[in-house]
Amino acid sequence: MSETLSVVTRGAQGRGRSLVRPAAAHQPIAMIHLRDLIDRATPLLLGIPPEITTKRPAPGKWSPKEILGHLIDSASNNHRRFVEAQLREDLTFTGYDQNGWVGAQPYQQSPWAELVALWRSFNLHLGRLMESVPESTRTLPRARHNLAEIGWDVSPDQPATLDFVMSDYVRHLEHHLRQILGEALDGPAEATRRGAAERAVPMLPADEIRVARDFYAAKLGFRVTFDTSEGGRNGMLGLARGGIALTLDSPMDGHGRNACVSLEVDDADAYYDEWSEEVEVLRPPKNEEWGARTFDLLDPFGNTIFVMGPVKS
């Protein structure tokens, strides 16, 4: 499905951040993002010329093989953390010497395809593990943790959740994949969108970012591009799906409510079939006299999402 977006409005990781990040009511956002990264990155990694995989960009910097090796080490260590966090009440983990681990293993001499396969298989397993953890366990605030002591730039005085640890693992993985793949990780459509000189992104008001994530990401299938919220309440949330980009802002002082976003898609019925299984829509698609097939729904904050596609006979 290809999409564009038009907007009509009516009416008027830092220290001290909260680590309690409630997850979606259905599938963990971290797991969805992880599987998306695996699917997009695997063919791109396998397409890198062999002579590039061992090249270090500067003295003291890792080659692509060593970066991928580090991601395998990260998967190994976080696998243990994800399991242990289900078996006890705290989030106190053992750290590891990242450079030492890479240096102690023959990643530079390993076949590239085997490293990619190991990285992919390990992370597919982690995705299944994330999905299997009960939401009540993932989102349980843990007052006792040592995340600041083992590398996280976080406050030791605020509670943390396993969901935060999982999400941070995926952000770390994406960061290092971009060191290897750059903008190729986004694909042609996303890279074009990022490189456009001008574009419009609607900013919609929200009451709580955690509710916005659940509605747009878990239920409507949008990808979270950034989240500046503290504890899932106040802040900004970036979302993308194909050629559509949205920003939710909570609180949105000085902005009126009752905003309307028009999504121009290639098949309104396909979106209706997908979304009506997850959320309540106001009406089924219908052909308009002015030449479009439309339906609409409301997000949890009263913003109208108006979907338009070609007329169907």
Q: In this predicted structure, what is the pLDDT of residue 77?
A: 95
Same domain for 241 and 194 = no
Reading the chain (313 residues) residue by residue, the pLDDT tens digits are 545 444 444 333 333 333 333 333 446 778 888 988 998 899 999 999 989 999 998 899 999 999 999 999 999 999 999 999 999 999 999 999 999 999 999 999 999 999 999 999 999 999 999 999 998 898 899 999 998 888 776 778 888 889 889 988 998 999 999 999 988 887 654 444 444 334 456 778 888 898 999 999 888 888 887 787 777 778 778 888 877 788 887 865 544 456 767 787 888 898 999 899 889 999 999 987 767 788 988 888 888 887 888 888 7
CATH of the domain at 269: 3.10.180.10
Q: In this predicted structure, what is the pLDDT of residue 292?
A: 75
Question: Domain containing 307: what range?
Answer: 201-313
Q: In this predicted structure, what is the pLDDT of residue 15?
A: 32
3-state helix, strand, coil in the chain (%, to 5): 40, 20, 40
Same domain for 238 and 162 = no
Are 51 and 97 within 8 A, CB to CB?
no
Are 219 and 271 within 8 A, CB to CB?
no
Question: The tokens of 182 are what?
Answer: 């750059």
Q: How far is CA 288 from CA 24, 25, 291, 309, 311, in A?
A: 35, 35, 6, 10, 8
Evaluate whether residue 107 is within a structural domain.
Answer: yes
pTM score over 0.75: no
Beta pairing partners, 247: 203, 238
Same domain for 289 and 189 = no
Same domain for 165 and 39 = yes
Same domain for 208 and 187 = no
Helix axes 64-84, 112-132, angle to 10 degrees: 20
Same domain for 240 and 178 = no
d(CA 225, CA 240): 7
Beta pairing partners, 235: 250
Same domain for 88 and 111 = yes
End position of a domain, from candidates 145, 168, 198: 198
Residues in the chain: 313
List of residues 6+ apart from 73 with CB closer than 8 A: 96, 98, 101, 102, 105
List of residues 6+ apart from 284 with CB closer than 8 A: 272, 276, 295
Same domain for 289 and 162 = no
Q: Where are the alpha helices (DSSP H) in the chain?
A: 29-46, 50-53, 64-84, 98-103, 112-132, 135-138, 162-181, 187-195, 209-212, 268-275
d(CA 271, CA 307): 8
Q: In this predicted structure, what is the pLDDT of residue 46?
A: 92
Evaluate whether residue 286 is within a structural domain.
Answer: yes
Same domain for 114 and 61 = yes
Evaluate whether residue 82 is within a structural domain.
Answer: yes
Same domain for 169 and 148 = yes
Same domain for 183 and 123 = yes
Same domain for 299 and 188 = no
